[in-house]
Structure formats: structure tokens, C-alpha cells
């Protein structure tokens, strides 16, 4: 079943862990042996970090593959995939490495497994430089399920930087094929809601302050909508360590979802965290796209695998998205086009249509 060896340069474009995630997932799905060189070459700590390593090991275990050169700091790996199997799989970053990024690499693979899967992912649930778990459940999940599958995400324990210690269990059944999606009609914003949380030793007042500051910031621009941001004190038995953060979601009349989020850091006051999330949400609403900047790149691999033409309308195309498209074209041979939107109302905005002719991947086991 093994195809021709694919060589990937891990130092181009986004030049980070994302290249590894996209290329190993596609390698696993398509049965292509893979060599990735110059992994994270331009980063301050080059090579594999714990979260990248645990993602690779998980993909290897998902398909009983072979993995060479996989150790912390390594800048070259060789991966030879075999058959994708269901069942229970565990990945533990042993750090605050993001469980959401582990989910990104494993989810497309287990959709095409022989049987149902349970992924036990351990690490950070609300970590910097990655989607927060709340984003994954509140935005990514409802949108990605439009491709024609369902998954269940059970947050057992939240974990924060720098300790991690979180655990999420994802359950999903395989599909025969993925449907294409069309997310081009943005509609109008109908509601704005969210959660501002504190965990550990942080006072509840911090959650209330983040929420209040965010609401004030949104009100300046959107006056006629009720903004419902719940302050939450995470229960001790459901959160490991200390942390605070906020996620705010805008929902539209056509079911589009946009988010802004921010995490607290030592010495940063609560208002600032709330305002940062609100400003991110507002920026995502200004560009006229139907997905926010974080969903863009996460949808590319599913569009590439789907059967038929998918279209999404976005704001400025991010480097992460360009990178995902590049590797989906190189490995899966899907065809993408990115064009400026020609709709009248987008004329003054930086709005694009990403279109993909998917490869119509079918599950060989179903």
C-alpha cells in the first residue's frame, strides 16, 4: 500500500509545528511514507518540542506505523504509515503543550479508521499560541461537523501554562466520505456570548473584570445586541493549576461563528485581557468573511479530503492557511484557488474566497 516517499521542507512558509501536523496527517491518511527535514528550523528552540513529539507518536500508534528520528530537538523525521485503526489512543505532552493541536493532527485520521476511536489527550487545554479548548468546542466543532461527521469532546480537567495537567477525551466514529462545505454567506450578527474564567488561587473578581471590560469594548462598536459573557470560577476538581482567560463568540443569522479570546499572564491586569479578546472578535467581524482567522487553516485539510467543491469566504488569508493549502496540494493533490471576493459589499474589504476541489477520500474499511 505504500506510495512514493514524500519529502517535506519543514522550514518554509509557517515553518513550525503546523507543517508537521498537516503533512503527517495526510501521510497517514494516504499511505504515503514521509520525510520531514528542517523541522521548526527558524524557531528560537528549533526541532521537535514535547507537544510535536507526542502528536507524532500518536499518529504512529493510530496506524501502527514506523517513526524514525523522533526525539526532542530533532529536526528530521521519517514516518512510514500503515492501516489506521480505531480504539483507544492516548497522547500526553507532559507539558502545557496544547491538546487542541493534538486533536488537529489526529482527527482527520480517525475519521477514516476501521472502527470508532477514543482519543485521550493530555496537556494544556487553554494554552498560548494555540486554540483554547473552548474555541474547539464552541466554534470549531459545530462548523467542522458540517463536513458530515460528529464528535464528542469531554473536558475532564483543564490545564494551564506552564504546568499543563489538563485532559480531554474525544470520541468519534469513522465516516465513509466527507461532504464539501459552503461557508460564503455571512449573514448578520444575532448574538454575542462567552465565558471569562479563573482557576486556582485567582479571585473571582478577575473573571468579572475581564467580562465587564470586554462588554464595554464591544458596546462601543455594536450597540444594539445583548452581550452575555458569563464569569466562571473553575471548580478545583476540574482545573489543574492557576489560570485565567476569556473567549467571546459572535453568532450570525446563517450560523457562522467568530471568536476572540485571550489568556491572562502574570502582571497583566484583567481589563486588558478582556479588551484584547473583544478587539480580536471585532477585527474578525470587520473583514466580511464567514469564518474567523483561526478557523481558516483548520478547515483546509477537511476541504482537501471532501468529495466535491468546498468554498469558504475569509478575511485576509493567513500564513497558516497558505501553508496548509501548500501541503494539501503537495501531498493530497487537492486543487485550491484563492481569489478576492467579487461581491459588491466586499469591494472595500480584504475578503477572499478559498475554493477547493476535494479528492473524495473514501474510507477503505467501511
Give CA–CA dist 30/34, Å, rounded. 11
Looking only at the bridges linking them, the beta strands covering 309-314 and 182-183 are parallel
* pTM of this structure: 0.97
Is 298 a known ligand-binding residue? yes
Alpha helices by DSSP H, the chain = 17-30, 50-62, 99-111, 133-135, 141-144, 204-221, 270-286, 293-305, 319-332
- Residue-range domains of the chain with CATH: 6-183+291-359 (3.65.10.20), 189-286 (3.30.360.20)
Could you tell me the pLDDT band of residue 2, with boundaries at 50, 70 and 90?
low
Per residue in 248-305, pLDDT (tens digit) is 999 999 999 999 999 999 999 999 999 999 999 999 999 989 999 999 999 999 999 9
The reply, when asked if residue 330 is annotated as ligand binding, is no
Q: What is the pLDDT of residue 214?
A: 98
Single out the residue of 219, 210, 216, 222 nearest to residue 272, CA to CA: 210
Residue 104 assigned as binding residue: yes
- Residues with a known catalytic role: 320
Query: Can you read off the three cell numbers belonging to residue 259?
Result: 471568536
Listed as own residue / partner, the contacts of 331-339 with beta carbons closer than 8 Å and 24 or more positions apart are 331/6, 331/8, 331/22, 331/23, 331/26, 331/27, 331/30, 331/32, 332/26, 332/29, 332/30, 332/304, 332/305, 332/359, 332/361, 333/359, 334/303, 334/304, 334/305, 334/358, 334/359, 336/300, 336/303, 336/304
- Is the predicted pLDDT of residue 238 greater than 90, yes or no? yes
At 148-191, the pLDDT tens digits run 999 999 999 999 998 999 999 999 999 999 999 999 999 999 99
Is 297 labelled a binding residue? yes
What value does the mean pLDDT take over residues 208-227?
97
Amino acid at each position: 500500500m505504500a506510495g512514493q516517499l514524500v519529502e517535506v521542507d519543514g522550514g518554509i512558509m509557517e515553518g513550525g509545528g503546523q507543517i508537521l501536523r498537516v503533512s503527517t496527517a495526510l501521510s497517514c491518511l494516504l499511505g504515503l511514507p514521509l520525510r520531514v527535514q528542517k523541522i521548526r528550523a527558524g524557531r528560537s528552540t528549533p526541532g521537535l518540542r514535547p507537544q510535536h513529539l507526542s502528536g507524532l507518536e500518536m499518529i504512529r500508534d493510530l496506524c501502527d506505523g514506523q517513526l524514525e528520528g523522533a526525539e526532542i530537538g530533532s529536526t528530521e523525521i521519517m514516518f512510514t504509515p500503515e492501516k489506521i485503526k480505531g480504539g483507544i489512543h492516548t497522547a500526553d505532552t507532559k507539558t502545557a503543550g496544547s491538546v487542541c493541536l493534538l486533536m488537529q493532527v489526529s482527527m482527520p485520521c480517525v475519521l477514516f479508521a476501521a472502527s470508532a476511536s477514543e482519543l485521550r489527550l493530555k496537556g494544556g487545554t487553554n494554552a498560548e499560541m494555540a486554540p483554547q479548548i473552548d474555541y474547539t468546542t464552541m466554534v470549531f466543532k459545530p462548523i467542522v461537523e458540517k463536513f458530515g461527521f460528529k464528535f464528542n469532546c469531554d473536558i475532564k480537567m483543564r490545564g494551564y501554562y506552564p504546568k499543563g495537567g489538563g485532559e480531554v477525551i474525544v470520541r468519534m466514529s469513522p465516516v465513509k466520505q466527507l461532504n464539501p462545505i459552503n461557508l460564503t454567506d455571512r449573514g448578520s450578527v444575532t448574538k454575542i456570548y462567552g465565558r471569562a474564567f479563573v482557576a486556582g488561587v485567582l479571585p473571582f473578581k478577575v473573571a468579572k473584570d475581564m467580562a465587564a471590560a470586554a462588554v464595554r469594548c464591544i458596546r462601543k462598536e455594536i450597540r444594539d445586541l445583548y452581550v452575555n459573557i458569563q464569569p466562571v470560577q473553575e471548580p478545583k476538581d476540574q482545573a489543574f493549576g492557576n489560570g485565567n482567560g476569556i473567549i467571546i463568540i459572535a453568532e450570525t443569522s446563517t450560523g457562522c461563528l467568530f471568536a476572540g479570546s485571550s489568556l491572562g499572564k502574570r502582571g497583566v491586569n484583567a481589563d486588558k485581557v478582556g479588551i484584547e479578546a473583544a478587539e480580536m472578535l471585532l477585527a474578525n467581524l470587520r473583514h466580511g468573511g464567514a469564518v474567523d482567522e483561526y478557523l481558516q487553516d483548520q478547515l483546509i485539510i477537511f476541504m482537501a479530503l471532501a468529495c466535491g467543491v468546498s468554498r469558504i469566504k475569509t478575511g485576509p488569508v493567513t500564513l497558516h492557511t497558505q501553508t496548509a493549502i501548500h501541503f494539501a496540494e503537495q501531498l493530497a493533490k487537492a486543487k485550491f484557488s484563492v481569489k478576492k471576493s467579487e461581491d459588491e459589499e466586499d469591494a472595500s474589504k480584504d475578503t477572499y474566497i478559498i475554493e477547493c476541489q476535494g479528492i473524495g477520500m473514501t474510507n477503505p474499511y467501511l
